[in-house]
Amino acid sequence: MSSTERAQGPTGGTDDGPGTAEFVQEWRNAAYNCYSSGHKFCREVCPVMQVTRNEVHTPTAFHANVVAMEQGLLSIEDVARDYVHCTQCGACELRCPNTLYTGDFYRFRTRTVQLVKAVRALAVDQGIHQPGWQRWVEETDRQRSEPVLGEVPVSQEHVADWAAGLNLPVGGETILFCDCEGAFHRTSVPRAAAMLLKAAGVEFGLMREQWCCGGPAAEMGYTDRAREFARHNVDDWRAVGARRIIVFDPHDYITFTEDYPAWFGDDYDFEIVLFVELLAELVRDGRIQLTRPVDRTVTYHDACRLNKRKGVHAAPREILRAVPGLTFKDVDHVTQWSYCSGAGGGLPIERPDLTAEISRRRVERAADLGVDTLVSACVWSERPLTEQGGKRDDPIQVLDLLEIVALSAGLAEEPA
């Protein structure tokens, strides 16, 4: 704690920076709906709160701060850092009684994730930056892809290295979008995706020049930058006549189905296909044959953006149950509202310690089931989960669902 933090009195005045009044006006009633109920049922499902136990990291505080800003008690400067402590997993929204019991009737849903994004954007607008995020976005700007640490150097030149030898065309009606973590770090996932599509006879191509989807920048509050990435990608899709975009990364799926439509309005008419749902269909229809037994005992990690944000939890389970030889010890998707890898919302960049601890706990829950493998459907979750799984005395391997399916379809070999 610095001495400048201490010096502030509780009523020492707050400076309303540009945009604060508009922000408060926009969010005051939504914030008050949380503030006034005071249930706090969101708290113990929040992956960050489970670790820090700090009330300023709760969805309740995220809403109460808006009320306090309206009362002149807090400014964006006072709270900007608190909002780093969110993976944007969406658990709090689901657990909110306002959403659960009256949301349909009043057409209201608690939107903590949107609020967090809005506060982060307000902070950036007022020149309050989190150093890690600022650097991350600047690097993304420079290389057109996120600066993920991987085997492949991040640059436009190498963005499709993962597809080496697969002879994938560029363009066409259907585009396979490969996110940055897959392109430069866990390349086995996009390779598996491409090989599975080919095996099923699905025609698809790659982008001429793929940039980052822009989602992470938007999550960190850099909305203008995010829109530049989005603009480029949409232009690239249009230039090759694309109609359908296949994504395997849940974060891209959120960006393409929530951010892009909000930014581009009615002009945005692409069909966004979630790979795991397409895959379940292909397996069900027999277009992908899972013939090779996979001798593993696994549990499935519900990717937050699929399960909590999009309600997608059935397809991954259907696929796993179709894999021969696999022993699948499932934990239901509602219990998993309180699970997370900690890899989302920019948390690993600003608070890698928290991401590591959230992942450690997730892996420990898997270990309690007596499994040897934790299967995820989110490539971003796999880095911290893999690290924690490997640190254990009884290591737990982390595989992507696509990697498992590629094994069973005879398209890949068991990892070393």
Partner 1 sequence: MTATLVTDPVIDELIGICGTDNVFADRSSRVNRARVPAPFPVHRWAEHVPDVVVLPTTAEQVSEVVKLANRHRIPVVPRAGGTGLTDGAVPLRHGIVVDVKLMNRILEIDLDDRTVTVQPGINMLKLNEELQKHGVIYPDDPASYPCSLVGGRIGTSGWSLIGGRYGHTRDLVISFQIALPTGELIWVGDGGGRKVRKSSTGYQLKHLFMGHQGTLGIVTEAVLELVPRPEAEFAAFFSYPDYETAWRSTGALAKSGLATLAGVVLFDEWKLDYLRRDDEAYIPQSDDVRCVVATAMYGTTDEVRPGARRLLRIGQETGGAYLGDEISQGDWASRHDRYATPLHGRLRDGQVVPMSWHCEDASINWSKLPQMRREWHDIVARLGDRFRIFDDWGMFAYTNGAFKPWGDYLTEIDVGIWEQELDDASWDAWVTAKRDIAAVAIAHGGSISACHGACRAGEVDLVPAELGGGWDVMKKVKRVLDPLNIMNPGKYLLDQAYEGDPA
Q: Using CB under 8 A, list all residues that contact partner 1.
A: 1, 3, 5-6, 8-12, 28-29, 32-33, 35-41, 43-44, 53-56, 61, 64-65, 67-68, 71, 73-74, 78-79, 82, 95, 97-98, 100-102, 104-106, 108
Q: How many beta carbons lie within 10 A of that of residue 107, not counting itself?
A: 7
Give the residue among 2, 129, 16 at the shortest CA–CA distance from 69.
16
**Residue 52 or 174 having the CB closest to partner 1:** 52
Smallest gap from Cβ 407 to partner 1, in A, equals 32
> What's the rounded Cα separation, in Å, for the pair 386 and 224?
33
Q: Choose between 97 and 325: whose C-beta lies nearer to partner 1.
A: 97
Q: Please check whether residue 119 is in contact with residue 83, taking contact to mean a CB–CB distance below 8 angstroms.
A: yes
Residue 253 identity: Y
CB within 8 Å of 112: residues ≥ 6 apart = 42, 59, 62, 63, 86, 90, 92, 93, 96
Quick one: 102 or 156, whose CB is closer to partner 1?
Answer: 102
* Smallest separation, CB 308 to partner 1 (Å): 16
Nearer to partner 1, 35 or 268 (CB): 35
Dist. CA 158–CA 166, nearest whole Å: 15
Q: Provide, rounded to whole angstroms, the least separation between the CB of residue 37 and partner 1.
A: 5
**CB 381 → partner 1: shortest distance, Å?**
22
**For residues 210 and 336, which CB has a smaller minimum distance to partner 1 in the complex?**
336
Which residues contact residue 352 at a Cβ distance below 8 angstroms, ignoring those fewer than 6 apart?
Answer: none
Element (H, E) at 250: helix 250-254
- Residue nearer to partner 1 on the CB measure, 56 or 240: 56
**Cβ of residue 52: shortest distance to partner 1, in angstroms?**
8
**Choice between 51 and 306, CB closer to partner 1:** 51
* The two structure tokens encoding residue 88: 């944007």
SS3 label, residue 315? helix
Residue 294's closest CA among 264, 323, 316? 323
d(CA 183, CA 162): 6
Residue 64 beta carbon to partner 1: minimum distance, rounded to whole angstroms? 6
- Cβ 78 to partner 1 shortest distance, Å: 5
Helices and strands in the chain, H and E counts: 23, 7
In the complex with partner 1, the residue whose CB is nearer, 173 or 353, is 353
Q: CB neighbours (10 Å) of residue 153?
A: 10
Q: Minimum CB separation from partner 1 for residue 344, in Å?
A: 22
The answer to whether the beta carbons of residues 282 and 353 sit under 8 Å apart is no
Kindly state the smallest distance separating residue 59's Cβ from partner 1, in Å.
11
User: Which tokens sit at 12?
Assistant: 């020492």
271-274: strand order across its sheet: 174-177, 244-247, 271-274
- Pick the closer one to partner 1 by CB: 65 or 187: 65
Q: What's the rounded Cα separation, in Å, for the pair 414 and 416?
A: 6
